[in-house]
Structure 1
Amino acid sequence: MLPSAGVTIRVLPASRWRAVAAAHRARLDDLVGPYLERRAQGSSHPVIDFSFTYYGHKPAQLRRWHPGYGVALADAAEYDGARGYHHVTMDGQAIGSSDTAPGNVLTADPGYLAKRYDTLAFITNLLRASASRPRQLSCFGLHEWAMVYRTDDIRHQQLPLRLGRTGTDAVVESMSLRCTHFDAYRFFTPEAVGRNAEPLTRADQLRREQPGCLHANMDLYKWGFKLVPLISSELLLDCFEMACAARELDMRASPYDLSRYGYEPVRIETPAGRAEYVRAQSTLADRAAELRRTFLGVCDELLASDAAARIGSGHRD
């Protein structure tokens, strides 16, 4: 255990962390291998590719394993210069300068944590606010339908509409739109915006998001990679896997015909389809609730570490 900027750091020997990092890469390769193969061939996939094209965190970034804040890596020259890392020091001397200490020890930088404070505080507040609310399970995935309502400007031009243009519009007009997630709502067509139960704005995000929302739960992955390398890659990959599962339900319940990709539709235009959607949505919400609890625990620890580092450096503001 080593002290650095008021934080006690646990050092992992190279033999241990390299094995964990290799297991992480193997797990990720199982998840994204098909995506990389398609990309190399110049083709795309309307369901799976979303996790990379929308969120923007590249597979190569996901492949780099991070232990999270408070854990240092011995003999880790490959992390030298990586964003958010620094060499561990004791009394102003590099740990690697001692013959009895592990060489080239790097860990997440308290200075980087301080720079990410506003982002960390926002994420913490959003996750806590979302977790405090009851689940709403009555949207039936209609956000994807609202994005193509009364328009020929369809996002997935390569996919036919399962019910056709007229049938798709009729589904939207037969049910209430109850979207609570601004980043889905902002893609609604102008004709669909006014049909939502309430108008949504970015400024209202903190008081609108709720734990039943498919997209709010997918966004756990987005919030996770905004905090890399301060959170562990294990948590980030757990969130990524959950986001992939949510995306599959999202598109199976959409107006698009995905049969040529092997997906059976969730026919939310029928009572049985809506019941199926709610069951799947609830299962994903259970999974997301556990991840959100874990994520919040990590955020609270990071906030406490930042406060301790500020006190230790004489900054109490």
Structure 2
Amino acid sequence: MPAAVLGRTEWLARRDAHTERVDRWLVPHLARRRQGVKHPVEDFLFTYYSHRPAQLRRWHPGAGVTLRDADPAGFGPDYRATPAGLTLDVDRVRQRRNESIDWIRDLLQATMGRAAHLGCFGMHEWAMVYRQTQDEVRHNAWPLRLSPERTAAIVEERGVRCSHFDAYRFFTAPARPLNLLNPTRETQRDNEQPGCLHANMDLYKWAYKLSPLVGSELVADCFELARDIRTLDMRASPYDLAALGYPPVRIETAEGRAEYVAAQRTFAERAAPLRARLLAALTALA
């Protein structure tokens, strides 16, 4: 693995830049949490995903980087002092993570090797409220754009083509038979494809699960992508979030579906280099 040595001034600048960047996302979230205010779009990245705000804020240089004049107490037990400076003990981390490292590598490689499919139109969010009342839906503090009856009719008219297990598992029971596929955890590597919003959002999950083996800048890049994707996800959902500043993408119309596909394609293009960077980091560990 090629090594890099960062002087104290350089690594402190990178650490501070990372902290400043993620604080733009964390500070509003933490303020809402203290006030007991829920946000149907922004909260997702901190509730669905298990990476805590303090973990996202903490900076790691990644494997193969040595920090001059760094205090080991500031980085944790996975780091060791060397004559050149402080560095991550890769073998120590890999002993705990080998199985997950292999699983993530296989998933990323399989996903990268497929063509992007862009015809789902975000119907997974509709399948999550299918045949539910306003009180039953997940974000019941926010109204649906259409009546429950009309929402159900859209699902039945459009059909559902979801390949992502972690979206499919939140479908309502009557919506699951309407899906073209029956994704499972065991078939995840066979089903995931690079056009899927949730597969691209999950790059954040794979990045933080690989931390501190991958640098925090890459984790933050994946977080930023996931945050932008979540915005489209909820704008195209059946919820009416216009009062929060999220105008709907009306996928029940031809114009809305075209808008969704264009945004989905852009996200697939943004995700591709992030997926490649994660794979390159994993390859360097081999």
Fold conserved between structures, TM > 0.5: yes
The structure 2 residue matched to 1:297, chosen from 259, 262, 280, is 280
3-state DSSP class of the match of 2:178?
coil
Indicate whether 1:49 and 2:43 are aligned. yes
1:109-188 to structure 2, matched below 5 A, reads 109-152=90-133, 153-188=136-171
Indicate whether 1:28 and 2:28 are aligned. no
User: Normalising by the residue count of structure 2, what TM-score does the alignment of the two structures yield?
Assistant: 0.95
Q: Which amino acid aligns with 1:50?
A: F
Show the counterpart of 1:88.
81
Q: Which runs of 5+ in 2 are unaligned?
A: none
Q: Is the 8 A contact 1:76 1:106 kept in 2?
A: no
Change (3 A) 1:158 1:78: farther
What is the alpha-carbon distance in structure 2 between the residues aligned to residue 248 and residue 292 of structure 1? 20
What is the alpha-carbon distance in structure 2 between the residues aligned to residue 191 and residue 286 of structure 1? 34
How much does 1:23 deviate?
0.7
Q: Deviations over 1:111-155 (max 9, x none)?
A: 212321111111111011001111110100000100110123211
- Higher-Rg member (1/2): 1
Question: Which range is displaced more, 245-254 or 7-16?
Answer: 7-16
3-state DSSP class of the match of 2:5?
strand
What is the alpha-carbon distance in structure 2 between the residues aligned to residue 14 and residue 178 of structure 1? 51
RMSD of the alignment, in Å? 1.5
What is the alpha-carbon distance in structure 2 between the residues aligned to residue 38 and residue 119 of structure 1? 33
Change (3 A) 1:121 1:79: farther
3-state DSSP class of the match of 1:88?
strand
Q: Which amino acid aligns with 2:117?
A: Q
Q: Deviations over 1:191-215 (max 9, x none)?
A: 0000001211111001000000000
Show the counterpart of 1:269.
252
Q: Is the 8 A contact 1:47 1:251 kept in 2?
A: yes
What is the alpha-carbon distance in structure 1 between the residues aligned to residue 37 and residue 72 of structure 2? 32
What is the alpha-carbon distance in structure 2 between the residues aligned to residue 185 and residue 289 of structure 1? 23
How much does 1:80 deviate?
5.3
Q: Which amino acid aligns with 1:158?
A: A
Q: Is the 8 A contact 2:236 2:248 kept in 1?
A: yes
Q: Deviations over 1:164-191 (max 9, x none)?
A: 2111111101112100000000011110
Indicate whether 1:12 and 2:25 are aligned. no
Q: Deviations over 1:41-97 (max 9, x none)?
A: 2212110110011102111111111110011223322545725x23134xxxxx3xx
3-state DSSP class of the match of 1:156?
coil
What is the alpha-carbon distance in structure 1 between the residues aligned to residue 75 and residue 27 of structure 2? 28
Q: Which amino acid aligns with 2:88?
A: T
3-state DSSP class of the match of 1:151?
coil
Q: Which amino acid aligns with 1:238?
A: D
Q: Which amino acid aligns with 1:263?
A: Y
Residues paired across the two proteins, number:
284
Q: Which runs of 5+ in 1 are unaligned?
A: 1-6, 90-94, 96-100, 304-317
Give aligned-pair identity as a percent: 52
User: Normalising by the residue count of structure 1, what TM-score does the alignment of the two structures yield?
Assistant: 0.86
Indicate whether 1:199 and 2:182 are aligned. yes
Indicate whether 1:215 and 2:215 are aligned. no
Q: Is the 8 A contact 2:222 2:274 kept in 1?
A: yes
Q: Deviations over 1:20-55 (max 9, x none)?
A: 100110111122322122122221211011001110
Question: Which range is displaced more, 29-38 or 140-149?
Answer: 29-38
